[in-house]
Structure 1
Amino acid sequence: MLNNNNQISIRFADEFENNLYTLSKKYRRIRADVEPVIEQIQTGNFIGDRIANLGENYFVLKVRVKNSNLHKGKRAGYRLIYQLESPTSILLLTIYSKLDREDISTNEIYGIIAEFNGNEL
């Protein structure tokens, strides 16, 4: 096993923390479902699909996460959205249940990033 001393720092946008808290009331196992994904990202394995149309300055990915409270697979699970700020820094932007909402818009992503950075759009 490779020892990685240059572990990646992960920060949490308020949007992510608020949504995780809200979803945890409905889905009791959400933290256990999300933890392995965050650990994978923290080791440098940037999983997920890049969200298009955000421009060159934003490297944002969307990961499907299985909801173990449901037995429907990843498609009906959560979507975890994160930004690769640098090779050693990740910002978890938001998480939502695919059962509760459709895809997130690029404007919403810009808004979360701007709010985290203390800017307004």
Structure 2
Amino acid sequence: MSYDVIPLERFKRDVKQLSKKYRHIKEDLQELEALLSENPTEGDAIPELKGSFYKIRLRNTDLRKGKRAGYRVVYYPAEENETIFLVTLYVKGEKEN
């Protein structure tokens, strides 16, 4: 079963802003999309948020430091219609968890 991955407007704005600094962000996100479409609960559940929101680490190839220093993506898997909504994206070093 493969889920559809849909970025929300806020996520698109985040990508646009970060793409000014990180040129390979779109390639990095393709890896995430493939991963989440096959395993929608791959990330860690966020208990502070109501609903089934998850956060996952993503390697930033522009930093060359691995997942820990890379991107964080918050997403919501809607199992009833097999869709994953990408909510927000940020860089670990620029924002707290």
TM-score by length of 1: 0.73
The structure richer in strand per residue is: 2
- Note the 1:1-121 alignment, pairs <5 A: 6-55=1-50, 58-87=51-80, 88-103=82-97
CA distance in 1, matches of 2:2, 2:57: 23
| 8 Å CA contact 1:50, 1:62 repeated in 2 | yes
| 8 Å CA contact 1:66, 1:73 repeated in 2 | yes
The structural deviation recorded for 1:100 is 1.2
Which letter maps to 1:89? T
RMSD: 1.4
Task: State the structure with bigger RCO (CA 8 A, min sep 6), 1 or 2.
Answer: 2
Unmatched 5+ residue regions in structure 1?
Answer: 1-5, 104-121
Matched-pair identity in %: 33
Unmatched 5+ residue regions in structure 2?
Answer: none
Q: How many residue pairs are counted as aligned between the two chains?
A: 96
| 8 Å CA contact 2:75, 2:84 repeated in 1 | yes
CA distance in 2, matches of 1:71, 1:40: 20
The structural deviation recorded for 1:44 is 3.3
CA distance in 1, matches of 2:33, 2:55: 12
Structure number with greater Rg is 1
